[in-house]
Amino acid sequence: MTQDEALQIVMRQADKIGLDPMMEFHHAQRAIVEYCPDRSRPGRVSDRLAWVLYFRGELGRMEVQVDDRKGEILSVVRE
């Protein structure tokens, strides 16, 4: 998967993940991330190769992790 493909996946699901339209894409990196299906509870984690995309806006920042192989959105973090 390329960075552009990962960005397209995020933009297609912008409403679903709550990406503010005023936020702009800032940068991305391909990295190994810890994946936990339910972050609200302690549990097993696994390693995934992902594209991590960073967005910035006046109201804050957002980080979205996209699985590099499956295109699944693994995590959304708002600051």
Partner 1 sequence: MMPEPIEKRAEQYVTRLLERRLQRAGLGLPGETNFLVQAQAPRPYFGGIEVRVRTWRHWSDAAVSFDAATGEIMERRIDRYAMPPCREEMTLQDAQAAVRAVVPVPPEAQLESFSHVLYAPFCTVARVQWRHVHQGLSVLGDFLIAMVHPKTRQIVEVRCKWRTVKLSGW
Using CB under 8 A, list all residues that contact partner 1: 29-34, 42, 46-49, 52, 69
Decide if 22 contacts 14 (C-beta within 8 A).
no
Least separation in angstroms between residue 57's CB and partner 1 is 22
Q: Which is nearer to partner 1, 44 or 58 (CB)?
A: 44
Min dist CB 49 to partner 1, Å, is: 6
Q: Of 4 and 34, which has the nearer Cβ to partner 1?
A: 34
Distances, alpha carbon 57 to alpha carbons 18, 23, 49, in Å: 13, 4, 26
Torsion, CA 73, CA 67, CA 62, CA 77, rounded to 10: 70
